[in-house]
Structure 1
Amino acid sequence: MSIWVEDGLDCFNVYIDEKLITEQGADALQAILRNTVTGWQRLDESFVMRTLKAVTG
């Protein structure tokens, strides 16, 4: 089971193992992501790693 994101030049593809989500849940997640896409921004790797360490310990 896993979730991963493919970061393309002009798009993000989010993949979620079918065992982790229902079709209705996938449709809801897709709608949420489409509605928030204008606020997305790429972050440099060091910022992402610092944030992950702060959240996960």
Structure 2
Amino acid sequence: MLTDVQVAVLCDIGQSMAFSDDKHQELMRLITDGYVEKDGDTFKLTAKGEAAVVDRGAGLNEA
């Protein structure tokens, strides 16, 4: 189960927003768990990450 912080990180990535260094540990866990992948110098949501955001009811434009 994802935490609210992890969902917030997913939403930030989905909106191509920068996130603070204090969320770095959450980002690494999301990568390990397959929700996020590195895309060059940036990060992007995987299909699993996008589904998690939708399942939590957090539209990318709302977070």
Q: Report the TM-score, using the length of structure 1 for normalisation.
A: 0.29
Is the radius of gyration larger for structure 1 or structure 2?
A: 1
Identify the structure with bigger relative contact order (alpha carbons < 8 Å, sequence gap 6+): 2
* Bigger helix fraction: 1
User: Normalising to structure 2: TM-score of the pair?
Assistant: 0.27
